[in-house]
Structure 1
Amino acid sequence: MLCLGIESSCDETALALVEDGRLLGSVLASQSDVHALFGGVVPELASREHYRYLGPLFDELMQRCGTEPDSIDLVAVARGPGLLGSLLVGVAFAKTLALGLGASFLGVNHLHAHLLAVGLERDLTFPALGLLVSGGHTHLYRLESPWRCLQLGRTLDDAAGEAFDKVGKLLGLAYPGGQLMDALARAGVASPGLFPRPYLDNDNLDFSFSGLKTAAAAYIERNFGSAQWPRPLRRIEDAPESLRNCCASFNAAVVETLCAKVERALKRHPDLRRLLVAGGVASNSLLRKRMTELMRERGGDALMPSRALCTDNAAMIAYAGWLLGSAGYRHDLRMETIPRGRRIPDDMFCAASCASKLQTD
């Protein structure tokens, strides 16, 4: 089965082809330079950029892979969560393409696709614990299969990636701040008591990083009000020691909070020996190190995709689509797009089951 994946949930326009579980090729157009002018993603601009890029990117992908459009068996697209306008552009393109080519159509949960992305590089086995850490979400899942993901905990306000980017902006770092904060943290020394480990005084598996962001903002105002460094800061060499140490301390607070909740989830689900870590923040160096150590101590393993597959990409959409499509799952063209903040319904139908039922009847 040849599956085309389309990703347009936020500010990355991407397409990829996966055949029989193998990535044939992918193309991506980043909008980071456009949104950097505003210090964050502007939804209206993101939608317009997706509309501008999708057609040319599709042609480029076909040419790169030496593939004819009519050989596509399944068109998979990120249906949500994400920015509604951005999602609508991608879904409309996918539906039109599927209809025109006579291909099957499938809407993919963007969050679940992140968790499955490592399957392009490593063998996936289930059940597994999934930690999704991105700019918009910090969630814990129990994955029974590629199509059965049970949510155990979720972000209640600011996600971990959002906290990184907002604190990075307060520090005057170039957008997006999270990546540069990781680099600065590696060059600094963390002070364990400088920032709190938020929302751990409870017995649940949810996350809340708004308090940590507020504590960091207060610290920055008190200590860096008159500090001088190039703004926006783009190079580690231009950062003073105090700034590097601040980033290291903030980084440690976020990572240790994530580790604490993962340990809590593993205690409640002792049968889980595999951890899947995904999302943009999964590229964080300290997080990758600590999660690997945590699972090794428990006699299990932590799987994390390469950094290129941590950020939003179409390869994960195409791979998730191939997994679900190979099991017979589809949508019809009435499928709704789901923005951030709404639960994505389990409304796929299994074409294989329907065919079997018709034969029986």
Structure 2
Amino acid sequence: MRILGIETSCDETAVALVEDGRLVAERLATQIDVHALFGGVVPEIASREHLRVLPRLFDELMADTGLAPADIDRVAVARGPGLLGSLLVGLSFAKGLSLATGAPLIGVNHLMAHLLAPGLEGELRFPALGLLVSGGHTHIYLMRSATDVELMGRTLDDAAGEAFDKVAKLLNIVYPGGRFIDMLASEGEPDTALFPRPYVDNDNLDFSFSGLKTAVANHVAAHPGLVLDEMAGGQGLAGVSGARRQELARVCASFNWSVAQTLKIKVERALKRTDGVRSLIVAGGVAANSAVRRTMAEVAGAAGVELTLPGLSLCTDNAAMIAYAGWLLARAGYGHDLGLEAVPRGRAIPEDWSVCGDKRAGEC
């Protein structure tokens, strides 16, 4: 069964083809350089860029695989959460393709796709505890199967990835700044007393990183020499040296440590509250962070469960994970009709699948 995946939830435009659970080909266009000028994603620009490049990416994917649109068995599309305008571009394209080819439509929860993405590289072992750490979400799930998932803890305000980007902006590091903070952190030792581990003095599994962001902002305000003279990325940071670089490395390492330890406390708490968990799945953009990966390996080892991490290319937004999640849903007989709606960030994604079997577009 060939599944086309379409991803346009934020600032990455991507298409991919998965056949029987295996990635065949993918195409991706990033908008990082465009939004870096503004220090974050501009929704209107993101939507227009998706509209501009999505048809081209699809044509290139078909050329790469030697297939025609009629060879696609299902069309899977990220329906949310995300930027509404961006989601609508992908959803409209998916509906048009579904209607033109007769391939049934499958709406995919972008968050669940992240957590299921490691299945493209190895076996997913259920029941699992899922930790999603991204720019917009830091959530903990109990995953009994690919389609039976329970939310245990969620983001109350700033997610971990959002905190990384805001701290980078405070230091005048280009967007998205998480990878540069991680790079600098690798050069220093964390001061474990410098920043707090936010929102851990409670008994719940929710997350709030706004306090940590504020603590870093106060420290930077008190030490203005930390702020780079010009906005810098990889090349600009290469020119920072001496005591200034050492102090930047210490601050970044300390921030990295606080985020990773906060995740550790909550995940350990969740593991103690669940029985029979076989694996810990960590996914999302921040799952590429070296301190997070190292710390979660320690947590999984201490709990005696298998750690499942996606490769770095599957941590960020991509269409391979959408196509794979769509394949899992299609294999279970689920799908949507052409009334499928986009769901913006802040609203829960309904599990409103229908049992479709082999019905064609519009019949589900």
Q: Normalising by structure 2, report the TM-score.
A: 0.95
Q: CA deviation at 1:233?
A: 4.3
- Name the SS of the counterpart of 2:105 in structure 1: strand
- Aligned residue for 2:193, secondary structure, equals coil
SS at match of 1:205: coil
Q: Distance in 2 between matches of 1:62 and 1:174?
A: 34
1:39 alignment partner in structure 2: 39
Query: How far did residue 353 of structure 1 move?
Result: 11
Q: CA deviation at 1:185?
A: 0.5
Change (3 A) 1:11 1:226: closer
- Which of 265, 273, 296 is residue 268 of structure 1 equivalent to? 273
1:133, 1:277 within 8 Å by CA — same for their partners in 2? yes
Residue matched to 1:114: 114
TM-superposed CA distance for 1:300, in Å, is 1.3
Does the 8 Å contact 2:15/2:27 carry over to 1?
A: yes
Who is 1:138 aligned against? 138
SS in 1 for 2:122: coil
Listed as ranges, the gaps of 5+ residues in structure 1 are 355-361
Instruction: Select the residue among 297, 302, 306 that pairs with 2:302.
Output: 297
CA distance in 2, matches of 1:116, 1:298: 21
* 1:237 maps to amino acid: A
| 1:68 CA displacement | 1.4
1:226: Cα distance to partner?
7.2
Matching residue of 1:237: 238
Question: 1:82-128: per-residue Cα shift (whole Å, max 9, x none)?
Answer: 00000000000000000100101010000000000000001012110
User: Secondary structure at the residue paired with 1:75?
Assistant: strand
**Number of residue equivalences:** 355
Distance 2:222 2:349 in 1: 42
Counterparts of 2:53 and 2:226, CA distance in 1: 43
With over 3 angstroms needed to count, the CA separation of the structure-2 counterparts of 1:191 and 1:72, relative to structure 1, is same
1:81 equivalent to 2:81? Answer: yes
Aligned structure 1 segments of 4 or more residues deviating by more than 4 angstroms:
225-230
Per the alignment, residue 252 of structure 1 pairs with: 257
Q: Hey, what does 2:336 align to over in structure 1? A: 331
- 8 Å contact 1:165–1:175 — kept in the other structure? yes
2:129 and 2:277 in contact (8 A); partners too: yes
Q: Does the CA contact (< 8 Å) of 2:171 and 2:228 recur in 1?
A: no
- 1:358 corresponding residue in structure 2: none
Identical aligned residues as a percent: 61
- In the alignment, the residues of structure 1 paired with residue 8 and residue 228 of structure 2 have an alpha-carbon distance, to the nearest angstrom, of 38
Deviations 1:210-264 (A, max 9, x none): 0000000000110125765543243443331101110000000000000100000
8 Å CA contact 1:230–1:238 kept in 2: the answer is no
Root-mean-square deviation (CA, aligned residues, Å) is 1.5
Give the deviation of 1:65 after TM superposition: 1.2
Give the distance between the partners of 2:224 and 2:231, measured in 1 at CA: 13
Q: Is the contact made by 1:27 and 1:61 (CA closer than 8 Å) also made in structure 2?
A: yes
Write the distance in 2 (CA, Å) between the matches of 1:271 and 1:147.
18
TM-superposition CA deviations, 1:69-89 (whole Å, max 9, x none): 101010000000000000000
Residue pairs, 1:286-325, within 5 angstroms = 286-325=291-330
For the 8 Å contact 1:273–1:295, the answer to whether it is kept is: no
Specify whether residues 228 and 48 from structure 1 end up closer, same or farther in structure 2 by C-alpha distance, changes over 3 A only. closer
Determine the C-alpha separation between the residues in 1 that align with 2:333 and 2:59: 28
Q: 2: distance between equivalents of 1:30 and 1:353?
A: 34
Q: Does 1:100 align with 2:105?
A: no
- CA deviations on 1:173-197 (whole Å, 9 max, x unpaired) are 1221111101110111110010000
- The 1:228–1:28 alpha-carbon spacing in structure 2 relative to 1, beyond 3 Å, is closer
* Counterpart Cα distance in 1 of 2:238 and 2:345: 37
Would you say the 8 A contact 1:172–1:232 is kept in 2?
Answer: yes
Instruction: Could you tell me which runs of 5 or more consecutive residues in structure 2 were left unpaired when the two chains were aligned.
Output: 360-364
Q: TM-score, normalised by structure 1?
A: 0.96
Q: Partners in 1 of 2:326 and 2:222 — Cα distance?
A: 49
The aligned amino acid for 1:319 is Y
Is the contact between residue 229 and residue 238 of structure 1 (CA under 8 Å) also seen in structure 2? Answer: no
Matches within 5 A, 1:87-236: 87-225=87-225, 229-235=229-235, 236=237
